Amino acid sequence: MKLRLFSRGFRFTTGNGKFYKKMDFSDPPAKASLCCEESVEGAPPTYAMYEALKDSCQNNATYFHPDDSENGQRLYQGFMTLIDHIDTVWPLVDHVRKVAPSYDFDAKSPGNGYRSFVSVVDSCVLHGLKLSRQVCTGRDALLFRKGYFVKEVESCGQLLASLGTCLHHLQTLLSWAAPGELFPIEPHSPEELFSQADTINQYCFYGRCLGFQFLPSMRGILKGISICMAGFSEAYYSHGNLISSVWTGGQYLIDPEMRARRIVNISQSASVEFCKAFWFLAESEIMKRVPSLMSSTVAVNKIITLPPEPIVMTTNEGKEMTILPPTVHIGLQGLNVRLISVNKRIGMAGEGSSTLPPAEGIIFHCHGGGFVAQSSKSHETYLREWASKLNIPILSVDYSLAPQAPFPRALEEVFFAYCWMINNFKEIGTTGKRIVFAGDSAGANLIAGCTLKILEAGLRPPEGLFMAYAPLLVSFIPSPARLLCLMDPLLPFGFMMRCLKAYASPNARGKVEKRSSKENSTSNATTPVEGNGFLKVSPSQEGASEGPSSFEEVSPSDLAELQAHKSGSERRQSSDTTISAASLTSEHTAAGITPTEDKSQQEPESENSSTLIGEPPLLHDGENKDHKKRIKTRISEAATGLMGAMSSRLAFITGSNNIRPSQEELAVRSNLDALIARSPSDEFIFSVPRDPLLSPYWADDELLKRFPPVRILTVHLDPCLDDCVMFAKKLKGLGNEVGLDVLEGLPHGFLNFSLMAKEAHEGSNLCVERIKQLLDLENHANTPDNTEL
């Protein structure tokens, strides 16, 4: 009876002998905005939360200690290990908790990478406490599943241990940076940081505890995306074995350990082409229809192709200047922009007659996607809502994508599109009285860089900038928030680094590939390389999960077909395009290239070199056309939702495997696990130029002083959080008008989930409010309230 009562409530003492009654800890994760407060009315003291977990674990350990069964003893050991980890972690997190507030932007906007990690550790403790209480409540039941809870408790222990290692890294970062600075003063590499502590076990972040740090409404979404990523990789790296791939993919739903191993392997070793392929699933046939079915109805949603012709502009001083179309990397190309408007307005090209006058403002938008994927179409889920609530047109730029079109191609295209817009306000239904730039992720970086180019050229600047979770320092300079990518389901470390390299340092690819091929030929597929303390599989984690450890290889023709499909005009053929004029309906590829032009940019490889996984050799233009003709059938979409969309895309990958890879290629590329045997950091050794147009944070102060008012919105769990905080601090220090919002419990890229989660939708609404302030600043002269959601 005593045990049963204990399972319903907790009483424990602190060092001063005071008793605390049972405290109810909610399911949502700990709030980073509150995690560093000394005391907050209505919120339990943090120390009490840690003590509650220790007491609960001790109670469970005492209960299972006499149990002689294997699972009983594992539960005993699991709870005792949790207690040890709590004792180790508490002083480390307590130190970070005390210093974190000094790195905030201001008192109204508490947020930085140190706060975020404290909240992540607190969320882990809440997760462990909830789990321990479940065991307390159900351990006497006849159907109590010891085997299930053994794995859950052990996973929680591994999670807390890995977070303890991250806290050691934070101590190093604190010593590298000046007070209040989130970036190191002197140059330090990630390798230098990660070599100073033990191995980080990434498996625990992507297994049973996946998404523990996010809001409950987001956890199911993130888990589903992770399962899709693992399942998609099966087909992407298999040779025509779709049925086997789908079957194995289904196992990731019921086997978290297998899923964790697969995701970590993908993150460490899959190429940027895999990242592109997976992210382009958002533009599959089913997903294309989601915005029109679930989002706001708009009267205008069309693609306009801008011809690659010089544009004559008038500067602020009244002088004329000619803006030439971009030619870098891929030559002259037509540039697509998408016009979205809730109403047809007078003068809109191709929209017939209308009595509604032009809007006073215009939103100039750039989409995210890591510089390598997606388009305005995949961001319609929130753009339609914005157009409806703001009641002004939105012009979104489909810039060319890396690695085929690296920096500065996308930036030059965005600048070119802006100049075209200035000269064609009537055609897009606006007077252009007020222009607001808006962008998320990579798009936010591009609009900031475009603003710098506008100011340098002396052209009319926008009236305001709105940036969501923006990467403003495009270099992996160690900072606390950057470490969050070690546990991010949407933006893992490997994905972020490959996108960064593809866009900012494309010349580093060839050298890395040759070195990687040489290392792979001599590496042991089961023994991790010593000497790199980051991302390798620690000895204690070998064999932590069961399941297939190798990928069957996809043929070069499959990968070329995937690239053609995801970059080709078919991806852009939208039923919402209503323009009939040829200049408004032709569409260029998502990568901004044609097969012939891309081939001209390709350097011949030596006989001894080989490509990394997912880097397809390009086909000749004639071969590509003939190859497309053979792809006429697709798997019927029997399932609804994302899995159906994925199946449709997989049919293209696996539908025609006419060209098989050579035995030499298979030996190098058939086993993704074997690539982990080499040090992943070798691939990430590359330099990024200190160019303000690439990293606006490095821009000259005199230029930043001329920036229009800025509103930045980010999330506590964003690897780019510190970029936003430091950029906002810099603008504020220069006397600029800037506002910062930091939202709780949402992931990087949450705007794409605004139709799926209530909190994400609320975040999108806050974006609308901030843009409204920029559109009409005369009525909002004061600094905006920085609302926490």
In the Cβ-directed half-sphere of 158, how many Cα atoms lie within 13 Å? Answer: 24
* R_g (Cα) of the chain, nearest Å: 27
- Evaluate whether 346 touches 300 at the Cβ level (below 8 Å): no
Write out the two tokens for 317. Answer: 């001083």
Q: Which is the catalytic residue, given 56, 295, 441, 475? A: 441
The secondary structure of 203-232 as a DSSP string is HHHHTTTTTTTS-HHHHHHHHHHHHHHHHH
Q: Tell me which DSSP letter residue 373 carries.
A: S
Decide: helix, strand or coil at residue 491: coil
Look at residues 746, 562, 776 and name the one whose alpha carbon lies nearest to residue 32. 746
Look at residues 298, 389, 302 and name the one whose alpha carbon lies nearest to residue 341. 298
SS (H, E, C) 55-76: HHHHHHHHHHCCCCCHHHHHHH
H or E segment and range at residue 9: none
Residues 6 or more apart whose CB falls under 8 angstroms from that of 676 comprise 265, 268, 269, 528, 536, 537
Residue count of the chain: 789
Euclidean distance between CA atoms 560 and 436, whole angstroms: 39
Angle between helices 758-775 and 216-236 (to 10 degrees): 100
Euclidean distance between CA atoms 548 and 551, whole angstroms: 8
Decide: helix, strand or coil at residue 305: strand
Give the Å distances, CA to CA, from 167 to 115, 135, 315, 483, 716: 12, 28, 51, 10, 17
CA 707 and chain centroid, separation: 27
Q: Which is the catalytic residue, given 718, 722, 723, 741? A: 718
Euclidean distance between CA atoms 301 and 304, whole angstroms: 10
In the Cβ-directed half-sphere of 606, how many Cα atoms lie within 13 Å? Answer: 8
716 flagged as catalytic: no
367 flagged as catalytic: no
Give the Å distances, CA to CA, from 101 to 160, 320, 476, 750, 783: 23, 50, 24, 25, 21
718 flagged as catalytic: yes
Measured on CA atoms in the order 699, 701, 702, 708, is the torsion positive or negative?
positive
Measured on CA atoms in the order 493, 538, 173, 716, is the torsion positive or negative?
positive
- Evaluate whether 218 touches 753 at the Cβ level (below 8 Å): yes
- Evaluate whether 113 touches 479 at the Cβ level (below 8 Å): yes
Terminal Cα-to-Cα distance of the chain (whole angstroms): 42
Q: Where are the alpha helices (DSSP H) in 139-255?
A: 146-176, 190-194, 203-206, 216-236, 242-254
- Evaluate whether 466 touches 709 at the Cβ level (below 8 Å): no
Look at residues 139, 91, 235 and name the one whose alpha carbon lies nearest to residue 552. 235
- Evaluate whether 453 touches 411 at the Cβ level (below 8 Å): yes
Q: Tell me which DSSP letter residue 737 carries.
A: -
Q: Which is the catalytic residue, given 748, 754, 761, 764? A: 748
- Do β-strands 710-715 and 430-440 pair in parallel, antiparallel, or remain unpaired? unpaired
Q: Tell me which DSSP letter residue 324 carries.
A: P
- Do β-strands 394-398 and 359-366 pair in parallel, antiparallel, or remain unpaired? parallel
Residues 6 or more apart whose CB falls under 8 angstroms from that of 67 comprise 73, 75, 76
Write out the two tokens for 593. Answer: 């290239």
Q: What are phi and psi of 400, to 5 degrees?
A: -70, 150
Give the residue numbers marked as catalytic. 441, 718, 748
